[in-house]
Structure 1
Amino acid sequence: MEKFDQLVKLIEETKSDADKFYNSDVQAAGTRVRGKMQEIKKLAQDIRVEVQDIKNSKK
């Protein structure tokens, strides 16, 4: 559950930059959003693997 909480925190941290990019047309914020989205993607994949491992260990 710790990784899931990290994912939620990372998404919340990205929200302000996403708002700046989409609503205020701040190009630098778009670059930051892309970087954070890459981190989110990696963390989400780690969570998927962890969930699958836990699921398989209970069989």
Structure 2
Amino acid sequence: MDNNFSKLKDLVLSLESDFEKFYEKNNAAAGTRVRKGMQDLKNMAQDIRKEVQDIKNSTADNA
């Protein structure tokens, strides 16, 4: 659990400077990096959701 949460936090924090560069300085390249980071975030969230569901289902099967 902690490992996934740490990875998620690290990814979000790694995007902070690109968000600032894009929204405050209108840096187009930073916008591209933000979009890629958000796609990575979406994929990571989906993987975590699947893992949680799998664990939930295996726990329910064993109960």
The two structures share one fold, judged by TM-score above 0.5: yes
- How many correspondences in the alignment? 59
Q: Which has the higher contact order (CA 8 A, sep 6+)?
A: 1
What is the CA RMSD across the aligned residues, in angstroms? 0.8
| Structure of higher CA gyration radius | 2
Residue 44 of structure 1 corresponds to which residue in structure 2?
45
TM-score by length of 1: 0.92
- After superposing on structure 2, the runs of 4+ consecutive aligned residues of structure 1 that deviate more than 4 Å are none
Structure 1: state its 5+ residue gaps. none
Identity over the aligned pairs, expressed in percent? 54
Structure 2: state its 5+ residue gaps. none
